Amino acid sequence: MNIHRPHRLRRLFALLFATALVAAACGSDGDSGATATSECGTDTSVAMGDSVTDLTFALVAPSAKDDLAFTQSMVDSLTRLGIEPQITDGTFIVEEAAAAIRGYAEEGVDVVIAHGTQYGGSLAEIAPDFPDTSFIWGTATDTQGLDNVFAYYPEADQGGYVNGWIAAEMTDGAAMGVVGPVEAGDAVAYVNGFIAGATANGAPAPSVVYTGSFSDVALATETAQAHVDNGAQVLTGTSQSTVGAVNVAAANDIPWFGTQSNQEAWSTDLVVASQVYHWDVVLDDMIESIEGGTLGGEAMAITLQNGGLVIEINGCYGLDDSVVDGAEGIIAEIIDGTIDPT
Amino acid sequence: MSDFFTLTVLVGTLASGIRTAMPYLLAALGETVGQRSGVLNLGVDGVMLLGAFGGYYTVLQTENHWLGVLVGLAIGLGMGLVYALVTIVFHAEQGISGIGIFLFGLGFSDLLFQELVGTPRPIKPLPKVEIPLLADIPHLGPAFFQHNLLTYVAFALVPLTTWMLMKTTFGMNVRAVGENPQAADSLGVSVAQTRMGAILFGNTMAGLAGAGLSLQLAIFQHNLTNGLGFIAVALVYFGAWRPRWVLAGALLYGMVTATRLRWQSLDIIPRGASDVAAMAPAIITILALVLLASRVRGPAALTKPFSRH
Amino acid sequence: MTTSTPLLELRGITKRFPGVLANDDVSFDVRTGEVHALLGENGAGKSTLMKILFGLYQADEGQIMLRGEEATITSPTSAIEQRVGMVHQHFMLVPTLTVVENVALGLHDARKLRPDLDAVGARIREISEEYGLEVDPDIDVWKLSVGERQRVEIIKALYRDAELLVLDEPTAVLTPQEVDDLFVILRQLTAAGTGIVFISHKLHEVLALSDRITVLRNGRVTGRTVPAETDRQQLAEMMVGREVDLAPDRPIVETGPVRLSVSGLHVTGDRGTPAVVDVDLDVRGGEILGIAGVSGNGQRELAEAIAGLRQLDRGSISIDGADTTGVTPGMARAAGLSYVPEERMKDGAVGEFDVAENLLLVDHGDSRFIRNGLFDRDQIETHAARLVEEYAVKTPTLHTPTSSLSGGNIQKLIMARELDSDPLVILAAQPTRGVDIGAAEYIHRRLVEQRGEGVAVLVISEDLDEVFALSDRIAVMFDGAVVKIFDRADATRESVGLAMTGVV
Ligand SMILES: Nc1ncnc2c1ncn2[C@@H]1O[C@H](COP(=O)(O)OP(=O)(O)O)[C@@H](O)[C@H]1O
Ligand SMILES: [Mg+2]
């Protein structure tokens, strides 16, 4: 049976739950939904929440479901909403993904999440064939005019800005290196936000390399090494290929800023802060629409404002309280619009 | 541009190019021997992935790098047996079988990784071995003589592979069965056994290359090789089936990769040109080999199964 | 061993391939110190018989006796162990290996780390000297001439102490000079006691070299004889199974005006090197000009240039007075040229097309075959049926795929199509290569017939017998140039053979 709760109430419930969860994990009270400082040694894995819906879900994603990056951010978000989707992951070959998306729709799954910008073309072909199925696609800033497709994207420049600002606090004018994947989508937003935040806080412009691949670990590794050789004192990067870069940071004792997922698990001592994507905020709105009979037609962003972006500061790193306070100030200014991170 | 010519950056670039070249070189040397015997293996990348996972997982569990290397070798050998069975015993079409091996390696390495590890966890990287005296030479030392052992092994295997191909009985048989298996057969050289040997060598090297990659990067991830094995196969072709040209190709590929990353990091290549920069290593390497390597014909019996009737 | 025990005796060998009885109860023997020729048309079963002897095939029935004892030969290795050596029709050499390596292959177990190439090289030099088999052991085989490669093959067998040596069509690829050299070597070998099986379909060679002759046709022995008791005519009839006319009568014909003229022609070959160098030729109506030469001396490029299939660098070509320099193949045809290409399956016919379609290939624009803008099926069939009948093309139906016909019938089909268009000039390249004697005889008759009708005929052939049988004049090509033009009356096999090696 489908219990239909009023809109506001359910959102509040979800937010409360998420806050409770974060609070439980951190022990320190989060001042807003937008920062969280974990206590050192806590498990950063996400626990299954209470189910918010009876809809059935499937997820098709390009990298592994526990990549500590892009795909995991979606899996964790669904977990928080108490949803256990059927998963086809690692489908970086678009044709394979398309087959999986169509397969789930044919099976009668209510909501199919196509978690990859590159799946847009396939979706434009598939979605019209299944008007009763809702497709959720991201990261994308529009729905390609399809009314059974929801799109989602992060305003990743916000977290990038915060990370960049913190990094500038720590480096005192030294060089910083950014390991970018392909020059597109939220990667560019994050990188540009990082540069803006760092330079706004008086640091020289960080050096940026786009490797040309989301998945080439060797390239990311060598890029990080290049930054280190150039004297970088802080490294950051985005995409699943950055596992290699984190290793280089670890080998050289250089702090790392993460994005997409909480990357503390890679290296507890080095990850200063991570911008974490909480897709659950927009997913929740979408679920509500779907249950109300609207299967798509809107693009939704996660932001610091709506709590979809959370800056998780690693308690083990031991960032000065003053810096943490400063970061929180920056976040507040982004939320209230005083700072435009782009 | 002037930034690039500071010694530290140059040294860093050289070292990075050599590191990058190592797995390409190992895989391509193995494939060179395989192809010289007349067998194309498009499954190199898949075997590398399995070797990479095997090596990584072993080190994750035991912290013993040499055990990891051994496991990589053993996995390569095992996959070689499979490939030999499919192509030599069952005469299956080599192109298709190779792609099959690749897809198997890609899927199975990921499955094992998901089941046994899950979230990528770093391992201890392969230790650097500084060659006594040479490593202390200013600049040259850090560029050339401070690498992990597998890198030295890969480079040492270049003359060894040439020697094996050109001077040993096995190598002579390999060249003969790759060129004219009927002729070899008519003199009592077993085409099947010779090709089997070459396949085992090639796959073992691919397994080693995979383990070398994951142990050097100290991590494993879905599709860690990212098509590296296919580039290795291309290097064999464009390197005209000669180990020294294959070496040149692998080194050039590594060096261009390292250089373009450094240039990007120094803003010598502007940010908007990253797509072009990413294609540069393959394009430059292939162009250079096409222009420089003597354009000899490939093994005449390449991809052709042998039977007497 | 007494002389009455043959070195080799094959008894009642039968071998079937799917749909083909390749050897049917064949018996054959070789004594020490003799050359026993195995003569037969393409497809008669000669190679099959010898491959059975060499362990490459297994006989379905019959026995192999070596030195009076029954032998089982299951592989080339076991043949070699029993001192049988074979020089295959298609050389069994690895071109990228050196001579020594080619000889050393298989001598050493692969478990022996390094082959002892020095010792092998020394032994090769000994053998070379003993039998006059000159060759540099350290050179890569691809650099050797065909004649030299054949010597390497013989050395390979002798190195393994062959007492019985089989040579499968060894002269097919040699110049007349090289054939003479080979015969000297073979006689030396027999003098030293080796037994030799000499396979050929060339009558005069068999007569010149052998001690005994066995003729095969359709897998069966159809004649056994010795040279002293036979001649070419009789051997040809044993091969073909009926009367044949080896040299068609060439009635005296008044020659007409120059129909094909080539002057100062230069053409570049596929490898970018000069292939045709300053060639001048005139062929008159009512004349057959034969071009002799070992293949690869520019004949193919010359033919393609005349046919409009290859660009020329310099010079001019005219057909019946009209300038056809650098024209398209269609324009050359329109000027009166018919072309029978060397690669008949590649350039002459489309294998997947049926017989009727191939007969139409060059005429498809012809208004006779088109009605209402479409092909007129009935007209096409009538046309095809007439040509098949007239040119004796053996085909089950008009709609049989051309690729399933025999070489001789494909060639007749191409001839039918080409001659039917009433040409002024016929250019025929290797018109009877790989074609059985019967079909060759027929093709020759047709060419001579065209000559009688005043057509200018240019025949390019590697087969000296063919050139001599047809030509009024003989031009010899070497290294891209026409080194000499003989009148038929002045030409001898020796003088032409010598010119083919560039000596004039
Ligand atoms: N491996 C084979 N499979 C099927 N048929 C074959 C094979 N080898 C030869 N033949 C057929 O056997 C017949 C005899 O061939 P072959 O011995 O090569 O003749 P020759 O050497 O006298 O020209 C031909 O009809 C040929 O097509
Ligand atoms: Mg034959």
ipTM: 0.89
Phi, psi of A88 (to 5 degrees): -120, 110
Q: Is C17 in the pocket of ligand 1 (CB under 6 A)?
A: yes
Smallest CA–CA distance from A215 into chain B, residue = B226
Residue linked to tokens 């932001």: A303
Residue C425 near residue C337, CB atoms below 8 Å: yes
Q: Is C336 in the pocket of ligand 1 (CB under 6 A)?
A: no
Give the pLDDT of residue C203: 87
Of A316 and C101, the structure prediction assigns the larger pLDDT to C101
Give the pLDDT of residue A66: 80
Residue contact B16–A226, C-beta within 8 A: yes
- For ligand 1, mutation pick of C13, C15, C20 (most atoms within 8 Å of CB): C20
- Tell whether A221 is within 8 A of chain B (Cβ): yes
Atom 8 of ligand 1, residue of closest alpha carbon: C48
pLDDT above 90 covers a percentage of chain C that reads 54
Residue B301 near residue B177, CB atoms below 8 Å: yes
Give the pLDDT of residue B226: 92
- Domain ranges for chain B, please list them: 21-225
Among C75, C97, C112, select the one facing B175 at the smallest CB separation.
Answer: C97
Give the pLDDT of residue A4: 37
Per-residue pLDDT reduced to its tens digit, C386-427:
888 888 888 888 888 888 777 778 888 888 888 888 899 999
Residue contact B224–A223, C-beta within 8 A: no
Cα C478 from Cα A76, distance rounded (Å):
81
Residue A124 near residue A147, CB atoms below 8 Å: no
Query: What is the mean predicted confidence (pLDDT) over C132-161?
Result: 90
Strands C212-217 and C220-225: antiparallel
For every residue of B80-113, DSSP letters joined together read HHHHHIIIIIS---HHHHHHHHHHHHHHHHHHHH
Residue contact B114–A66, C-beta within 8 A: yes
Give the pLDDT of residue C371: 67
Q: Is C26 in the pocket of ligand 1 (CB under 6 A)?
A: no
Among B213, B219, B265, select the one facing A226 at the smallest CB separation.
Answer: B265
- Domain ranges for chain C, please list them: 6-240, 258-348+423-500
Cα C435 from Cα C429, distance rounded (Å):
13
Per-residue pLDDT reduced to its tens digit, C118-136:
999 999 999 999 888 889 9
Superfamily assignment of C258-348+423-500 in CATH? P-loop containing nucleotide triphosphate hydrolases (3.40.50.300)
A217 neighbourhood in chain B, CB within 8 Å: 217, 219, 221, 224, 226
Interface test with C, best of B36, B170, B182, B186 (most C CBs within 10 A): B186
H or E stretch covering B192? helix B191-217
Among C86, C105, C111, select the one facing B184 at the smallest CB separation.
Answer: C105
Residue contact A63–B218, C-beta within 8 A: no
Give the pLDDT of residue C157: 92
Per-residue pLDDT reduced to its tens digit, B23-50:
999 999 999 999 999 999 999 999 999 9
Mean pLDDT for all residues in chain C: 88
Per-residue pLDDT reduced to its tens digit, A77-119:
999 899 999 999 888 788 889 999 999 999 999 999 999 888 9
Phi, psi of B9 (to 5 degrees): -70, -40
Of C373, C362, C376, C370, whose CA–CA distance to C333 is shortest?
C362
Give the pLDDT of residue B82: 97
Cα A195 from Cα A245, distance rounded (Å):
18
CATH number of C6-240: 3.40.50.300
Taking 50 as the pLDDT cut, the residues of chain A under it are 1-32
Give the pLDDT of residue C257: 92
Per-residue pLDDT reduced to its tens digit, B92-107:
999 999 999 999 999 9
H or E stretch covering C370? strand C370-371
The nearest CA of chain C is from the CA of B126 a distance in Å of: 33
Give the pLDDT of residue A27: 35
Per-residue pLDDT reduced to its tens digit, C219-244:
999 999 999 999 988 998 898 888 77
For every residue of C264-329, DSSP letters joined together read EEEEE-TTSSEEEEEEEEEEETTEEEEEE--TTSSHHHHHHHHTTSS--SEEEEEETTEE-TT--H
List of E strands, chain A: 35-37, 57-60, 86-88, 111-115, 134-138, 149-154, 175-180, 207-210, 232-237, 256-260, 271-277, 299-302, 309-313
Cα C487 from Cα B64, distance rounded (Å):
87
Give the pLDDT of residue C383: 83
**∠ Cα C346 C352 C354 (to 5°):** 110
- Tell whether B275 is within 8 A of chain A (Cβ): yes
- The answer for residues whose C-beta is within 8 angstroms of residue C325's C-beta and 6 or more apart is C312, C315, C316, C317, C318
Give the pLDDT of residue A7: 43
Q: Is C58 in the pocket of ligand 1 (CB under 6 A)?
A: no
- Tell whether A16 is within 8 A of chain B (Cβ): no
Give the pLDDT of residue C3: 54
Give the pLDDT of residue A337: 87
Among B169, B173, B190, select the one facing C113 at the smallest CB separation.
Answer: B169
Give the pLDDT of residue C367: 61
Distance from Cα C20 to the centre of ligand 1, integer Å: 8
- Domains along chain A with CATH numbers: 8-27+47-155+278-306 (3.40.50.2300), 156-276+310-335 (3.40.50.2300)
H or E stretch covering B75? helix B65-84
A227 neighbourhood in chain B, CB within 8 Å: 265
Give the pLDDT of residue A252: 92
Q: Which two tokens stand for residue C181?
A: 């050299």
Per-residue pLDDT reduced to its tens digit, B207-242:
999 999 999 999 998 899 999 999 999 999 989 999
The nearest CA of chain B is from the CA of C114 a distance in Å of: 4
Distance from Cα C15 to the centre of ligand 1, integer Å: 10
Residue contact A247–B125, C-beta within 8 A: yes
Asked if the domains at C6-240 and C258-348+423-500 fall in one CATH topology, the answer is yes
Cα C477 from Cα C500, distance rounded (Å):
7
Of C347, C353, C351, whose CA–CA distance to C329 is shortest?
C347
Distance from Cα C48 to the centre of ligand 1, integer Å: 6
Residue linked to tokens 């077993």: B190
